[in-house]
Copies of this chain bind each other. A is one copy, B any other.
Amino acid sequence: MSAALVKPVLYSYFRSSCSWRVRIALALKGIAYDQEPVNLLKDGGQQFSTEFQVVNPMQQVPALKIDGVTLSQSLAIIQYLEETRPNPRLLPQDLKKRAQARMISDHIVSGIQPLQNLSFLKQVGEKKLEWAQGSIARGFQALEQILQHTAGRYCIGDEVSIADLCLVPQVYNAERFKVDLAPYPTITRINKALLELEAFQVSHPCRQPDTPAELRA
């Protein structure tokens, strides 16, 4: 069977915001895939197992087996999907808007998420809620300002882009960490509009194969 005919396999954890980004991309592009859950808490973290180390030496989800290769890092995966399965597009056609979409994505992916993710907070110890809230609040303050220049219905004008795939999972984390979202009306409005779309609903953490029964919705 040729690599293109094999269904992609997504190594994912229902609550991982990085995994969710990729699930949204797969849903928007209508790509059928299988999920291989990796429980980041069980057995001291299944991402550290010898088996998973072979899949992804970075010991993180998501990882996607597709077209005969295994890719990791959510934005690299999403951009590979964009280049191999361009419809519907997740990067705007206009080059400056493309840059802005990537800028917002990178701001969330490297500026906010790393300072509030599970493996980081474990190391921080008892001050973890403070750290998570502080990182998200600082990041959202900047993001709210940037969106004044770029947003329409969504982060970049009225077309769903890679930036939106990063925004929604980050807002979900903000809610988990009880960050007050009142100072960020634009973020809140865009998040709400995006959650109305089917691709964001089917990929939601409350609806994955590994979502525990008590968290399902």
Residues of B within 8 A of A84 (CB): 95
CB distance from A50 to the nearest CB of B (A): 13
A103 at the interface (CB under 8 A from B): yes
Please tell me how many copies of the chain the complex holds: 2
Spell out A's residues near B (CB within 8 Å): 57-60, 67, 69, 71-77, 79-80, 83-84, 95-96, 98-100, 102-103, 105-107, 109-111, 113-115, 120, 141-142, 145-146
CB distance from A38 to the nearest CB of B (A): 16
Contact of A75 among B80, B83, B96, B106 (CB under 8 A): B106
- The answer on a CB contact under 8 Å between B110 and A96 is no
The answer to whether A57 and B145 touch (CB under 8 A), given A73-B107, A96-B69, A115-B120, is: yes
Chain B, Cβ-Cβ closest to A119: B138
The answer to whether A99 and B71 touch (CB under 8 A), given A57-B146, A59-B142, is: yes
CB distance from A18 to the nearest CB of B (A): 9
23 pairs of residues in contact across A and B, judged by CB atoms under 8 Å: A57-B146, A58-B142, A67-B96, A71-B103, A72-B103, A73-B102, A73-B110, A73-B111, A75-B106, A76-B99, A76-B102, A76-B103, A76-B105, A79-B98, A80-B95, A80-B102, A83-B98, A83-B99, A106-B109, A109-B110, A110-B113, A114-B114, A115-B120
Chain B, Cβ-Cβ closest to A102: B76
A88 to B115, CA, bound (A): 35
A97 to B99, CA, bound (A): 21
Since A57-B145, A59-B142 are in contact, a sample of 9 more A-B pairs with Cβ atoms closer than 8 Å, ordered by chain A residue number, is A58-B111, A72-B107, A73-B102, A75-B102, A76-B100, A76-B102, A79-B98, A110-B114, A115-B115
